[in-house]
Chain A
């Protein structure tokens, strides 16, 4: 019975994912039919002139996630190493609780904090007209995905047996050598899963990004200009879905954005799981 139930739930989960993707495909179908993939390379998004180029938002999503990860990975890893290898028991659990609290804060609260604290700070320190930009979105996202990376890395590090640590230590390996040659390589599968999950979250986060990114539909000029208002796939959907008529081309284009996002994030989490499975098989 239990077995049946477990199987049924597994199939239900799979069915939901497939249904979801199917729904997105169906709803965005008119868009793909009319514009095809050519719009992937066009930056113009003017719904009233029936221009629906996706590039600006894709580049925006890419940059925001890249900034977030390039800050959160080193910080999260350092924090995980610090707490598993250096801090003693009570401090370790304190830091972990702190991280779990951070992970539990609703994203709109992060967004508000970003509006009140981060934007004015960026505006004044960089002398910008407005603090709404990709950098702000990336910075905010980096704080939001930090707990994921840190908690996963912490788990992976604390799984390494004390015998391994002792073996490395009694070979006279120094602290940093133990870290680079024993701890991090062995924790890598877990760390990698954490990074992929964080990437998924960074790409999919809507509310907080929407509040700080500026929602300007244009390709950054030049493409690495992070200090101008921009747009991401999620913020575009979040902002415009309310004003688009159901069944219109605008609606279909937004659904296309959603399909793109869903495909990428599902692929990422599949990757994370596939890798985790592989390594657990190899370990036993």
Chain B
């Protein structure tokens, strides 16, 4: 009897865990976007689990960056339905700005503000938080962005003197400083050397343990290393999504196979 009860309890716990796994931090259905009269994104639907790594791949011009901008409401003219943490983003409490603080977006092209490195890190914080922010917090986010070692002695130098790869990592740190609940990264390691790449990947995996991370990359090897869910896009369509291991071992769609084998995709 007692044992049976324990098993029952264990089962319900497991079930709720499964349920939690099925819960989604982001649920997108039927997103379409036109810009200047041309359809850029067509009927895209996918979901991100409450935490874990998600990789968005696809040929150049597929609409990956545009999709990330939609998720962050930088594009607002799309049709469809987007729920983040079970809340409709259109009616997000306190508006789009609060949503963007919760959903960190790191753009493809690093864009720093013309002030010091440290000031850039805390740029997104409110006035009070900027004054009270501790050096430890700055150090922590810079470490997470694999940048601390290079800038720890020059925190008050102009941020624009950094190399492009360093700027990209500073952008990651700047987004992390806001303690986002979800991260969207657009080719975060595009201009990095292998070592910094590795550091960033390790950081991202660590972050993915606690929050959903959606990362665009052109680097198939990196996509394999990061694992998680793969979302494959081409020409504004979502072609295939699924577990990384399955996707790379047994891509279902012919477009995916072509893309993986020859890095071409003809789906228009």
Report A's interface with B, CB cutoff 8 A.
161, 163-164, 166-174, 181-182, 185-186
Contact = CB atoms under 8 A, between A and B. Distances in A.
B74 A163 contact: no
B100 A172 contact: yes
29 contacts: A161-B111, A163-B107, A163-B111, A166-B69, A166-B74, A166-B107, A166-B111, A167-B107, A167-B111, A167-B112, A167-B171, A169-B74, A170-B104, A170-B105, A170-B175, A171-B100, A171-B101, A171-B123, A171-B124, A171-B175, A171-B178, A172-B99, A172-B101, A172-B102, A172-B178, A173-B124, A174-B97, A181-B123, A182-B113
A166 B112 CA distance: 11
Most central of A172, A173, A182 by chain B CB within 10 Å: A172
A100 B100 CA distance: 38
Most central of A161, A168, A169 by chain B CB within 10 Å: A169
Contacts of B104: 170
B113 A170 contact: no
B80 interface: no
Given A163-B107, A163-B109, A170 B114 contact: no
B98 interface: yes
A160 to B, nearest CB: 10
B127 to A, nearest CB: 9
B63 to A, nearest CB: 16
B189 interface: no
Interface residues of B, number: 23
Contacts of B174: 171
Nearest to B120: A167
Most central of B98, B100, B178 by chain A CB within 10 Å: B100
Interface string B85-109: 0000000000001111110110101
Interface string B115-131: 00000000110000000
B32 interface: no
B241 interface: no
Given A163-B107, A163-B109, A170-B72, A186 B114 contact: yes
A172 B123 contact: no
Contacts of A169: 74, 100
A243 B56 CA distance: 82
Contacts of A161: 111
Nearest to B126: A177
A181 B122 CA distance: 13
Contacts of B112: 167
Contacts of B97: 172-174
Nearest to B113: A182
Contacts of B72: 170
A280 to B, nearest CB: 13
A203 B115 CA distance: 35
Contacts of A186: 114
Rank and list the top 8 A-B pairs by shortest CB-CB distance, nearest first: A171-B124, A172-B101, A163-B111, A172-B100, A167-B111, A170-B105, A172-B97, A174-B97
Nearest to A282: B114
Nearest to A162: B111
A185 B105 CA distance: 23
A172 B111 contact: no
Contact of B98 (A164, A166, A172, A182): A172
A161 B113 CA distance: 11
Given A163-B109, A172-B99, 13 more contacts: A163-B107, A166-B107, A167-B107, A169-B74, A169-B100, A170-B100, A171-B101, A171-B178, A172-B102, A172-B124, A173-B124, A185-B114, A186-B114
Nearest to A186: B114
A144 to B, nearest CB: 33
Interface in B162-187: 171, 174-175, 178
A168 B115 CA distance: 13
Given A182-B113, A186-B114, A170 B107 contact: yes
